[in-house]
Amino acid sequence: MRSASSSTTTSPAWRNACGSSDGCVEIARFTPEVVGARDGRGDESPILLFSTDTWQSILRQIKSEALDLP
């Protein structure tokens, strides 16, 4: 995972990951190999960059509920 300030990266098409506009995560593809995630509350949020392999692993863990708190 890397981080990038929103002012130093190109402006990809961000989409809301939860279907609402309140307190969700926004996701964007920067390149075929890099996915970005940020807080959905504003354009000034730090951007976390993940390889597509890492992002797919995170999604699998979320869907399997492996990251849920007890």
Separation CA 22–CA 61 (nearest Å)? 23
What pLDDT, on the 0 to 100 scale, is given for residue 70? 78
Domain ranges across the chain: 2-63
pTM greater than 0.75 (yes/no)? no
| pLDDT for res 18 | 77
For residue range 7-63, list pLDDT tens digits in order.
Answer: 445 578 998 877 555 668 899 999 999 999 999 887 788 999 999 999 999 989 988
Quote the pLDDT of residue 6. 43
Residues 17-44, buried b or exposed e (16+ Cβ, 10 A)? eeeeeeeeebbbeeeeebbbbbebeeee
- Which helix (DSSP H) or strand (DSSP E) does residue 26 occupy? strand 25-31
Instruction: Pick the more confident residue, 31 or 67.
Output: 31
